[in-house]
Every structure is written in C-alpha cells, then in structure tokens.
A and B are shown apart, each in its own frame.
Chain A
Amino acid sequence: MSRLAIQKTYKLYIGGKFPRSESGRFYAINDSKGNLIANMCLASRKDFRNAVVIARNAQSSWANSSALNKGQILYRIAEMLEGRKEQFIAELIAQGETAENAKTEVLLAIDRLVYFAGWSDKYQQFFSCINPVSSAHFNFSVLEPVGVVAVIAPEKQSLLGLISVIAPAIVGGNTVIVLASESKPLSAISFAEVLNSSDVPGGVVNILTGKKEELVNQFASHMDVNSIIYCGADEPLMLSISELASNNVKRTTFYKKNDWASDSCESPYFIEKTQEVKTTWHPTEI
C-alpha cells in the first residue's frame, strides 16, 4: 500500500517551544539539484526580541544550577544525539555533504558535547586565581557568566559548528540565542528537538533560522544581549558588529576558522570567551 509522504515542519525554537515566525515568512532550502528539501521559518527581529526576553528570564536559574547538573545535562544532550545520529547524518547528506563527511561531523559533534560536559565542574578552577596584593587583603578572581549570548553560527559544518559554539557558552551558565546556518539550517532545528528532550530548561538555548542580512545588526545592537559571537569572515559585517556591540560594551568574539573538526576547537578557552572575571578584595586584618 502506498503512503503519503510525511514531511517535517521546521519551526523556530524559542523558550522550549517550537513557534513559527511571528512574521509568517519562510524561505526555501533546496538540494544541489534544485529540489525543495524544506521551507524554513524566516525569523524577524521581533522573534529575536521575544527570544531575548525569554533567554534573559531563563539565565539566572540556569547559572545557579550546579556545575554537576549542567555537566549532566550536556552529557544527556550527547546521549540523545547518539540515539538519533542516523537521522542527522541523512539530513546533512540531503543538504549536500558527502556520506563520509556527514558521519564524521555528527560523531564529532557528539564527542564535542561530551568534551564540554566534562569541563563543567573544572573550568572554574582552571581560570580562577588568588592574586598577591600589597595590602591586608585576600584577593581572588573567579569567572561569572556574562549572561545572554547572541551567536551567529558557522555557515558550513552547520551541526558541528553550532554545537562547538553553544556548548561552551551554556556550560558556563549563559543562555544563548543562535542564528543557524542560513544555507544549511535543517540540522539546527532537528538539534532543537534533541535539546528539548534532554532536560535543558526552556529558554537556555533558542534557535532562529533566517537571514544574516536582516538579523545580525539586531543581534549586535540589542541592549539586553551581553555578548555576541560571530562565526564567519565577512570583514565589513564584523566592523558593523563591533560598532553596534560597543553601545553596551558586549563581549565580542569572532571565529574566522573554517574547520570546526580540528583539535584546536577543543579548549576551555572557548568557555572563557563568554565569562567575565570578578575580582574580590576581602579584608584580612583590621
């Protein structure tokens, strides 16, 4: 008996829910032969604004959850992704990857989650320090999450790149709003389904699909965003991001690298990029 094909509707991921864009707009993703794979939501600046409100509200309780708990949740994401890896491989192939590359990318993405999960209760010791000072103070520095992080994910390696950027941000207690790869956005939304079934509290990761042209300046100028990470190599865009981000002194990071598979992408310094150092002067004598 022949069946009707059941196609997945790809929507946005905001606050642990899958809404459509409030604008009602969408754009088509085609395979290399020009056949339609899916219609993606074309997120508007209002979708972004809503996501920021939700990410802000979710941030303090996420930051206050224990390091152990955050590590467990990241590991849980890896477990869920492991169980669905065939689907992710097929999706990458549909978007133009070779079978071999697709498989490598998905396996590396899973491993990367495990890698950052492991850092959850360790990076603080790695970066914190006691500072010698010439007065009667006990002086020490520790890391605190910057807060809400806006991420423009890499255009290529749309799954591995996305995970490599958001895992270190959330493991450090930040909440994120990500603009998925514009040309290969399917994996990001399927990954949202994984997040949604991995005990990640709603609002910790929010994923939008849409046009860089429309959204990047909004990401950079929003006063309630504390840090922005841009993955790409568009120099004029980076200049514009820097200028807009300066209005509220956002921590700004540019990743120009092309290869998110390399070993250099596994480093605790990715976590440090979305942390602020707090130094405390504690009087020791009167």
Chain B
Amino acid sequence: MIPNLDNLPVYDTAGVNERIARFCSRSIKSNSKLEGLKLALSMVDLTTLEGKDTTGKVQQICYKAMHPHDTLKNIPKVAAVCVYPAQVAIAIKALKGSGIQVASVATAFPSGQSSLEVKLLDTKFAVDQGANEIDMVISRGQFLAGNYQYVFDEIVAVKKVCGQAHLKVILETGELDTLDNVRKASELAIYAGADFIKTSTGKIQPAATMQVTYVMLDAIKDYYIKTGKMIGMKPAGGISTSKIALQYLVMLNEVLGEKWMNKNYFRFGASSLVNDILMQLVKAETGNYQSGNYFSKD
C-alpha cells in the first residue's frame, strides 16, 4: 500500500550541504584508499546506454568488465554491465560464467513517457532476454502532478513482471527539483518493492549529486529501522573520478554503515570511473601518474 507521504522529514539544503562537506573532508590514509578504490571498482555497473551501441561495443565493455586491467593483480571485476534491452542477450553471452550481472534499463527509458502496457512489455522483454537486474524509470510527470498513486502502482506492476530479477528504481532526481520530492519519490519506490533506488538515468543534468544521494540513503536508513529490510542504493551519472567515488563511500559508511559496503547494496552507475580508478591503482603500484593513452577506452 502507498506509504504516508505527509509526515516525512523535510530537508534543509544548507544543513545537507554542511553534512556533505564533512564527508568530503575526511582524511583517508593510503592503505584505506587502496581498499576503497578496489571496493568502488567492485561496485561499478559498467554502463553503455547510447543509440549507437553495437554488438561489438557491448562485447567490448563486457570484456572490460571481466578484465579491467591486464597487469594489475588482485583487482576485482565490476559488479554488472548495464545496457539497453536489445543488447541484453549479447551481454549475457559475453559474460557467461563470469558471475557479472547483466542489468537492463527498461520502461521507456530514459523519459518513461509511454503507456504502462508498453513499459511492462519492455520489462518482460529484458527479463526474457536474461537480464538479472532491471533499472526502471518512474513517471516524473505524474509524480510532479501529484499522482503518487499512479507512480506507486506502476512500480508495483513492473516489480511483478521482473520475477527473480532485481529491480532498481530510477527517480531521475535532476527533474524532481527539491530534496523533499526526492525523499517522497524514494519512499514510493521503496514501499512499492524496489530492491535498489537509483538517482538518475545519466541523460539529464544534474545527474547524481551527493545531496540527493544523502537524502535517498536517509530514506533507506529509516526504512531499515522500521522494517529491518535493507534496500540498495545506486548513484549514477557524473561520478567520474576516484576522489568522488571515495567521498560517496565515506557517506555510505557514515549514514548506513558497513553492512551496506558491498556490491549487493551499493552500486556506481558509471563508465569513465573505471579507468580513473585503474589509473590510481597503477599510480599506487608504480609511483608514476598515469595517462589515459595506456588504458582501453571501452
């Protein structure tokens, strides 16, 4: 049933900014930093969501997902590869036996402006193709118009079609305007059955920010306190450097704690982040600052 949205905490932007400034100023010593970088790498949903995606491109990022770097030892694989439904079968085949999940966006991604019927078919297609994780978008238009019931029912319906596949619900916070709206949308998604809540499609600016991620983590925390159930979090879009990724991990640890510090409960939706992490890891090993020229683009 739709949660009560009237008594939610309200967010003071200045206060949130202040809290975030503290997450960003934590001193991380070099050993912890290395562990943090490896953890972040293991949490990446390596993403390609472009009209120009081809079989070759998808196979290439699947290879990258399985072998992030040729010579670095003891580095993890990424958590998942995230593609459009039409590319799922290719990714499944390429990743066979690797343990890496295949995530697919669905429900008329990225705008979500279609009928429920089409969205459910879209989801079913992705699941039938073999996707283990579905990244759906909410209907932001309906949400902003105040039709919360519509948004809630839609998520419930998609969740049903997902079956065994994990459901990540994209709020597209860049279109929700206020932090209070982000909190409301988080509640709707969580109570409707989301396994993960996700900030953005990556197609709208601003994408993930620490502010909205903080509010979403706060919603996850309150839900955990109330029900004991753990919901996952996925900031996506705009997290392109190791430094920012580490700041997110600091925030995750301080808001939700160690239980969430793994790929089952936290993901980064990113593409260029992987190379930046690899460059940092190679720098730590060789002592030399690295160049993008020596790392595969996809």
Contact = CB atoms under 8 A, between A and B. Distances in A.
A234 to B, nearest CB: 21
A223 B287 contact: no
Interface of B: 287-294
A215 to B, nearest CB: 12
A226 B39 CA distance: 32
A25 interface: no
Contacts of A49: 289
Contacts of B294: 223
A218 interface: yes
Contacts of B291: 222-224, 248
Contacts of A169: none
A240 interface: no
Contacts of A52: 289
A133 B294 CA distance: 34
B287 A221 contact: yes
List the 10 closest A-B pairs by CB distance, nearest first: A224-B291, A223-B291, A222-B289, A221-B288, A223-B290, A49-B289, A223-B288, A223-B289, A223-B294, A247-B288
Contacts of B289: 45, 49, 52, 218, 221-224
25 contacts: A45-B289, A49-B289, A52-B289, A56-B292, A218-B289, A221-B287, A221-B288, A221-B289, A222-B288, A222-B289, A222-B291, A223-B288, A223-B289, A223-B290, A223-B291, A223-B293, A223-B294, A224-B289, A224-B290, A224-B291, A224-B292, A224-B293, A244-B288, A247-B288, A248-B291
Contacts of B292: 56, 224
Given A224-B292, A247-B288, 12 more contacts: A45-B289, A52-B289, A56-B292, A218-B289, A221-B288, A221-B289, A222-B288, A222-B291, A223-B289, A223-B293, A224-B289, A224-B291
A221 B288 CA distance: 6
Contacts, number: 25
Contacts of B287: 221
A189 B288 CA distance: 27
Among B287, B289, B292, B294, residue most surrounded by chain A Cβ atoms (within 10 Å): B289
A249 to B, nearest CB: 12
Contacts of B288: 221-223, 244, 247
Nearest to B294: A223
A52 B293 CA distance: 14
Interface string A41-83: 0000100010010001000000000000000000000000000
A177 to B, nearest CB: 12
A45 B291 CA distance: 15
Contacts of A224: 289-293
Nearest to A218: B289
Contacts of A221: 287-289
Contacts of A45: 289
Among B288, B290, B292, B293, residue most surrounded by chain A Cβ atoms (within 10 Å): B288
A48 B235 CA distance: 30
B102 to A, nearest CB: 33
Contacts of A244: 288
A189 to B, nearest CB: 24
Contacts of A218: 289
A49 B288 CA distance: 10
Interface in A189-225: 218, 221-224
A49 to B, nearest CB: 5
Nearest to A222: B289
B116 to A, nearest CB: 44
Contacts of A56: 292
Contacts of A222: 288-289, 291
A229 to B, nearest CB: 18
A49 B294 CA distance: 17
A218 B293 CA distance: 18
A285 B292 CA distance: 39
A251 B293 CA distance: 16
Interface in A211-269: 218, 221-224, 244, 247-248
A59 B2 CA distance: 54
Contacts of A248: 291
Contacts of A223: 288-291, 293-294
Nearest to A247: B288
A218 B288 CA distance: 8
B46 to A, nearest CB: 22
